Amino acid sequence: MAEAEVQTIQRVGAEPFDVYSIRERFPALKREVYGRALVYLDNAATSQKPQDVIERVTRYYTEENSNVHRGVHYLSQLATDAYEAARARIAGFIDAESAKQTIFTRGTTEAINIVASTFGRERVGRGDQVLISEMEHHSNIVPWQMLCESVDAELKVIPISDEGEIVYDDFERMLSGRVKILAIPHVSNTLGTINPIKEMIRDAHAFGIPVLIDGAQAVPHMQVDVQDIDCDFYCFSSHKMFGPTGMGILYGKADHLENMPPHQGGGDMIETVTFRETTYNDLPHRFEAGTPNIAGGIGFGAAVDFMVATGLQAIAAHEHEILEYATARLQEIDGVRIYGTAPDKASVISFLVDDVHPYDAGTILDRLGIAVRTGHHCTQPLMQRLGVPGTVRASFALYNTREDVDALIEGVKKVKEMFA
């Protein structure tokens, strides 16, 4: 089957942004917990799903259910067309040069692991260095640690400031011919910091260093153009951008992907198989062994359609307004300490309330119907840098409102009252 072409994406929504109309499209936001209306502020962990995505996944299972790529019958062709069309739309969403460069994975974590275990293993050797930062999610630490331990390489860590920004002078000093890979987040999942990745990629490339970007927290909130930033790899997840769980994308430059060995063997990733040897399929299928998450891929495409119809610029503007409002309201409360105060942030606020343990604060907020995340947020080294065991994290999405923020503020005041 011929590969679907990249679909050009219109980045301005078809209709004016109306957050209350948008909320109506998310069934989960209409439910109650403990007799109270749900206030969902855990979007950095996973977002809720619009009816558009739910219905598209249901339609696949009720009308199109079949395996992809291997069948000549009607349902198989229908499913294959829908699956590959979703890939093409996702490729256009990040401005990839070709749909072949968008590899379906189980999520950001698997995407990073694929690069570490293939590209990294061929590029990094004894005495070499892999460069990451202090704000990394565990998924962008552990795969590189495993690689470095296996080849006797060194994992180097770029420091961050007290405000939660990359210390750029230190970053520049750490660049050298010994560094074989730079792997950094576009947006910190704990601090909300938006890193200057375009400049970091430019400076790394001056030393011939390829760059992987963990984009899990960026793609749901801002326009991403992989050609413009010139990254070598970009990884992100469906479930944080209103799509199904268990689905993600590894974007890579074509020359890298074409020269990387497969990380798994099985069906669909092969061209020919004999007992003596196997030849591998072309991109993107070389990295997609076995039956994929077909419904997840199709649902992922529907999530992209939803975001495009809503308007990426409108989403970013609305979330920025909610972030600024929430930050100002929290700063009004004595004893609230916000972690991550970089001027350029996405819609995440991590904070503590007096000396209240984050789990206790989160439990009280939960009983008030407010869903936040508590703990180390899969960033234990960052918590050590900040000198805290964990934080309360409120993270916003396109459907959050000032009323949601007001409920959070009243909940935080209740926490203070109970622990006074």
Catalytic site positions: 378
Pairing of strands 248-252, 233-237: antiparallel
Token pair, residue 133, equals 């930062």
* Contact criterion met (CB below 8 Å) for 153 and 127: yes
DSSP 15: S
Token pair, residue 280, equals 């591998």
Residue of 209, 416, 236 lying closest to 330 (CA atoms): 416
Altogether, the residues listed in the chain come to a count of 420
Distances (CA, A) of 175 to 49, 100, 123: 41, 31, 16
Q: At what angle do helices 294-310 and 51-59 cross, to 10 degrees?
A: 150
d(CA 214, CA 44): 14
DSSP 208: T
Residue with tokens 């892999």: 130
Token pair, residue 312, equals 């990426």
Q: How far is CA 330 from the centre of its chain?
A: 26
d(CA 369, CA 158): 38
Q: At what angle do helices 312-331 and 294-310 cross, to 10 degrees?
A: 80
Token pair, residue 90, equals 């996702």
Contacts of 173 (CB under 8 A, 6+ apart): none
The neighbour count for residue 199, using CB atoms within 10 Å, is 13
The continuous run of DSSP H or E covering 197 comes out as helix 197-205
